[in-house]
Amino acid sequence: MQIWKHEARLLLRSRLASVALVLLALLSAAAVAAGMAEIARQRAGIDAIAPAQAEDIGAVATYIDREKDAGSAAYYSFHTTWDAPAPLAFAAIGMRDVAPYILRVRALGLEAQIYDGDTFNPELALPGRFDWSFVLVFLAPLFVIALFHDLRSGEREAGRARMLDALPGAQRLWLRRGLVRFVLLLAALATPFVVGAILSGVGFAVILLIVAVAALYLLFWIGVSGLVSRLGRGSTANAATLAGLWLVLVLIAPTLANVVINRAVPVDEGSQIALAQRENVHHAWEIQREETMRRFYARYPRWSDSAPLTEAFHYKWYFAFHQNGDDSVAARVKAYRDGLQHRAATANALGWLLPSVGVQTLLTRLAQTDLAAQLAYQDRIRDFHRRLREFYYGYMFYDRPFAKADFEKAPEFEDGR
């Protein structure tokens, strides 16, 4: 035990090593704090939904209760959906930084509401918000390089390498020095994460798994440093070579892969789907109302026994052509989602070749902040929207009065976490 303590003291006497370890610990702690603050902000926004929703619906209900028109109730009522963050989300914020986690929807056409603000490319996560996964994937390798680039070459340049190699158990000496550096690096990196994970309610098994992943990622870069040092060059050359490898493996290769995947798997932007849906909705004003209802009843025969339209405006026609607009882009929506999933699957497979991509992918999956989680949230929105439409249709298509008390019967969104 004393010899291990001696190695640790010897390492910490180096100003570069001690500054590197302290800086890594500070960066890790700052990333955990920033991630927890962001998730706390998101949770506060979600918690504020219920009172705001009650106030909004109350104002609409007071107005609707005068004429008791179900169509007006459906048109003016916004219903809030949300995607509550998982306990681990603070460590890998992922798509929660770019995709909506709160969305207010009406019983009108849904696709435009979902994709109206979709102006990003979510299929492959590149450097984004400063969180713990960013520190692990992008910054931690630099600290490995700082502590391991001169592990042997520094002794050789100081003229002590031959003497150390001649000592009994020389291999154990180098192994011990490497293990001390590895343990201290892992402690500086993982300790703030473990504290944040415990405070966030992350399960022990998940914490252990992520610490193990961090350890393996550090060991990968330690192995790369060891291979470079075997070339027998000086410390400066080792550092330059390792910095170049970091640049390629962490930044250049994933970015080029992103470009290749995007070109190999072309996908329409969500905003284009929203535009197409809106154009189809607007086109309904230019055709016979009977044609709109015929198309609607062909897909939804459940409501076909509704009374025929008269010359007067009726909301069931208005909501019918909004739903027709959604149905008109259903194939494009499926192609869009399939394309995103194909891109994500290709990017995930790339993780077997590029550890930086693999670690990032694993963290966002465990944190439920990846594309799969976002698509699952959209599926919950669609299910809620269907129940919402059917609720209002039951009043609109049969001309049942919609009173103030009926607002309490409306379906409620379920987060599903």
Amino acid 58 reads G
Distance between CA atoms of residues 95 and 109, nearest Å:
25
DSSP state of 63: H
User: Are the C-beta atoms of residues 105 and 378 closer than 8 Å to each other?
Assistant: no
H or E element that contains 103? strand 102-105
Residue 256 is predicted with a pLDDT of 94
Task: Tell me what the mean pLDDT of segment 235-241 comes to.
Answer: 87
Tokens of 138: 């992008």
Q: Where are the domains of the chain?
A: 48-123+268-409, 132-264
Tokens of 204: 């022990």
Residue 401 bridge partners (DSSP): none
Residue 245 has pLDDT above 60, yes or no: yes
Lowest mean pLDDT among 12-16, 119-123, 196-200: 119-123
Question: Nearest CA to 254 among 125, 370, 143?
Answer: 125
Predicted confidence band of residue 229 (pLDDT cuts 50, 70, 90): confident
Tokens of 119: 């102006």
Q: Residue 5, Cα to own-chain centre: how many angstroms?
A: 42
Distance between CA atoms of residues 117 and 96, nearest Å:
14
- How far is residue 107 from each of residues 14, 242, 315, 378, 384, measured CA to CA in Å? 65, 56, 12, 15, 10
Residue 266 has pLDDT above 60, yes or no: yes
Q: Residue 386, Cα to own-chain centre: how many angstroms?
A: 25
Higher pLDDT, 124 or 355: 355
Lowest mean pLDDT among 107-116, 127-136, 228-237: 228-237
Predicted confidence band of residue 8 (pLDDT cuts 50, 70, 90): low
Predicted confidence band of residue 176 (pLDDT cuts 50, 70, 90): confident
User: Are the C-beta atoms of residues 184 and 21 closer than 8 Å to each other?
Assistant: yes
Task: Tell me what the mean pLDDT of segment 154-173 comes to.
Answer: 52
Higher pLDDT, 150 or 366: 366
Distance between CA atoms of residues 239 and 228, nearest Å:
9
Residue 125 is predicted with a pLDDT of 41
pLDDT single digits (tens) 311-364: 889 999 999 999 999 999 999 999 999 999 999 999 999 999 999 999 999 999
Task: Tell me what the mean pLDDT of segment 375-385 comes to.
Answer: 96
Distance between CA atoms of residues 335 and 315, nearest Å:
31
Question: Nearest CA to 96 among 350, 364, 344?
Answer: 364
> How confident is the prediction for the chain on average, in pLDDT?
88
Predicted confidence band of residue 123 (pLDDT cuts 50, 70, 90): very low
Predicted confidence band of residue 209 (pLDDT cuts 50, 70, 90): very high
Residue 14 has pLDDT above 80, yes or no: no
All residues at 6 or more sequence positions from 313 whose CB lies less than 8 Å from its CB, including other chains: none
Q: Residue 49, Cα to own-chain centre: how many angstroms?
A: 22
- CA dihedral over 266, 270, 271, 272, signed as positive or negative: positive
Distance between CA atoms of residues 137 and 253, nearest Å:
14
The total of other beta-carbon atoms located within 10 Å of residue 379's CB is: 12
Residue 237 is predicted with a pLDDT of 87
Higher pLDDT, 259 or 151: 259
Cβ-in-10-Å burial (0-12, 13-18, 19+) of 156 comes to middle
Tokens of 32: 């955990």
Tokens of 290: 């009977």
Distance between CA atoms of residues 414 and 110, nearest Å:
17
**Percentage of the residues of the chain whose pLDDT score is greater than 90:** 71
Task: Tell me what the mean pLDDT of segment 197-221 comes to.
Answer: 97
